[in-house]
Amino acid sequence: MEGDRCRSVPIPQNVARQPNEKRFPCPMPDCRKLFNRKEHVTRHLKSHNPNAEHQCHICGRRYVRRDVLRRHVSGHGPQPGTSKPLTPITSSTVDQLSTPDRGKDGNEDIVLGFHSGLDTPASFDGNLPNGLHAQWPQPQDQCWQPSVFLPEVRSLRAATTNIAYTAEWATNIATLRDSENISNSLFSDTVMPVNTPEPAQTSQPLSLASESLADTVDSTPNERQLHTSSSSSFGVDDPDHNLIGAHLSASEIQRLVQVYFARVHPYWPILHRSTFEIEQASKCLLSSIVLLAAYHEGNADHGKLADAVFNAVTGEELMSNPSLHLLQSLLLCVVYCLSRLREHGMAARTTYLNAILISTCRSLGVFDDRYLYHKEIEHSPLSMWLAREQLHRLAFAVFCADTYISILQDHPPTVRYQELQIPLPMSTGLWEAISDVERRKLQWQEPAGRQKVLFSSILRDILEEEPQIETPYQLGLTGSHLGLCALWSGVWEAAREAHSSAADELYTKHLPGSPFFKWRQNVSFWRMRMEENCALQQKYFSLMTTDGDNAHPSRALTLILGHLYHLHMHAPVNLIQTVANGDENSTRLNEARKRLRTWINSPCPRISVWNAAQISRVIEHESICRSGLPDAVQNPCAITSLLTSAIVVCFVAHLTSSCSSCAGGAGESPSIDLFNSPENDTGLAHWRDTGVGVTSWSSSGIVVCRCKTQELASWFRGHLHKDASAEAEFVVFVDSLQSTSV
């Protein structure tokens, strides 16, 4: 009995498989799906049929199941000529719609729209109060035209403002049945301002004080091609809000537009100069162009004009298909704020407008080429090509502007290069093509594969390969600059980790495999690649003027960014300012000094000083060529990079004893010219690793030593004097160095 009790009963091995044996497999090869019922297999076999019977009448996609097709069609939104159940109205909303003359007893029709934003409580029984009737607007009303391919995007102002829908608003919408149907194309701005009780009508040409622009004449799509008559509105009818029309004549606007294309457009080439016409541009875009041109010229009234332009751009209702002009205008406003970032109150405004622009471009699919073009421009291959290229250039300009803002404000970028699923922009010659014949002719001169490889794929392949492996991509100066902007996200992360306040001491050992080592290697490799492909530094310093074939607009900015990245990774600027300016918390100040002792005894300060010298060399060359610093619109990072270099160089000089008098009568050390010594120079490498040697600054030969700190400060102040806030910040820093010790 005992043996029987202990005897184990064998468990069949196929117990777990028995349910599977009753299942019905799919008979198609390479399909291993199993089903519990045979009818499920029959339904599944329809998915293998490439010609599904249920086709969407809007976009043409096919589906096997009818319910999936219905769910897909509902995503397109209500279509003209289709019926849709009425949106019920609540009693609280009826009170809001009631007026003394047209209330609950007025027997007036209330027009309900599917964008009305009225909430429906669960207790609503579907019956309207006595005396009220529901009426659905006709499909031809342009204010309710839905998008057939894009989700709805509401403006930030509309999302944060409670709009009171009145009976007058509903009546005005009802009267739009008799108005002309306005096409909502890619280049037009058919919008509904959120701060006016009346729907937006077709905009008129700008009304000017002395003379007006040529009237905008309605034309057929074949006549206007790229240019569609603008129907944008400033959202307010007060002339004071339209400073262009109130204070500028047509000739002055024409002159400012010419200034924009001559001085600003080469640095932000998002518009097609050959086909741009003032009469066809929207009010928002034209106002933004005039704003940037006025700021570039130093016009004192640009601040007042900026308020009107900002109200116009942010007041536009970003519908499901906002115009390209509106997106371009918003970008130019971001560029304007970026140029004034150091002024009081402009940092918050820059971040605000940049967030709106990026979120709108993301939702519309501008970054990954999902933004579809309106049928109105499909008649012309040139118009389609221009639309696509302008969207690509807009995406890259947004990417660059976000990178510059991130650098200046020292926070991680919002847009990463992995999002840019679009090819590189066309060359300048092809971009200036006017006719389709000229475009096709110049197309043969474009690098092979430019339109076939995505920018994100190019960066991924180049950065993942070993430096010694040759990649097939030959990037020009524009592509190299965009690639340098793409490296900033990794550089910021590596610098933040190296200079983290949570660490006991600064990260000064460049161990292989660490993020710091990886991104320092990536930046050095990218700079070497730019020099090999574009001869960037050689061509730039060989020119004595900024005009010429080799004077690419972004050449100076590209050189600055390459060295600024190294400066960010090797110099803890925030910690230096904390020690120099002092801290009320003595414990925190002592910890900062302790951490800086480790940094000052490593090669990092000398690496930082050389990169700061290269930045200063570019700034000095720009000052000679331009008779002053470059404009902030043309080079947004010039002032900040020079100020950062000044802080690092003066701090290191204050703690360095290199000349014979300060070094205690030591023998003569080899002299090193920081401006003209290349990175692979043996003397520079020896000084960088050991600290042995005397370094000189600029053509004046100022020695980087504690006894020459004031002379170095005077050199920097001579180049910072155009920016009062930057100069004042640097003066305070230099004054605090007198009592600074580590």
Phi, psi of 521 (to 5 degrees): -65, -40
> Which residue ranges of the chain lie beneath pLDDT 70?
1-21, 50-52, 59-61, 75-247, 315-321, 373-379, 465-472, 501-511, 543-552, 583-585, 627-630, 664-669, 742
Instruction: Using alpha carbons only, give the angle 637, 641, 646 rounded to the nearest 5 degrees.
Output: 155
Give CA–CA dist 684/703, Å, rounded. 15
DSSP class per residue in 352-392: HHHHHHHHHHHHHTTTTT--PPPGGGTT-HHHHHHHHHHHH
**Per-residue model confidence as pLDDT tens digits over 407-459:** 999 999 999 999 999 999 988 888 877 777 887 888 888 877 777 889 999 88
Predicted pLDDT of residue 115: 37
State the pLDDT at residue 317: 58
CB distance 99 to 167 below 8 Å: yes
Q: Write the DSSP string, 54-120.
A: EE-TTT--EESSHHHHHHHHHHT---TT---PPPP--HHHHHHH--SSSSTTS--EEE--TTS----
Domain boundaries, the chain: 93-117+128-178, 184-419, 499-742
User: How many whole angstroms separate alpha carbon 515 and alpha carbon 495?
Assistant: 9
pLDDT of residue 695: 92
User: Which residues, in sequence order, are bridge partners of residue 110?
Assistant: 134
**Complete DSSP assignment for 568-620:** HHH--HHHHHHHHH--S-HHHHHHHHHHHHHHHTSSHHHHHHHHHHHHHHHHH
Q: How many Å from the N-terminal Cα to the C-terminal Cα in the chain?
A: 88
Residues 6 or more apart in contact with residue 33 via CB below 8 angstroms: 25, 26, 44
Q: Biggest alpha carbon distance in the chain? A: 118
Contact partners, residue 439, CB within 8 Å, separation at least 6: 382, 385, 430, 433
Report which of 562, 556, 553 is spatially closest to residue 528, judged by C-alpha positions: 562
Phi-psi region of 11 (alpha: psi -120 to 50; beta: other; left: phi over 0): beta
Give the list of residues 6+ apart from residue 315 with CB closer than 8 angstroms, or none: 155, 157, 193, 194, 195, 234, 235, 236
Cα pseudo-dihedral 542, 547, 552, 558, rounded to 10: 60
* Total H helices, total E strands in the chain: 30, 9
**C-alpha 578: how far from chain center:** 31
- In whole angstroms, give the CA distance from residue 651 to residue 741: 10
Predicted local confidence at residue 661, as pLDDT:
77
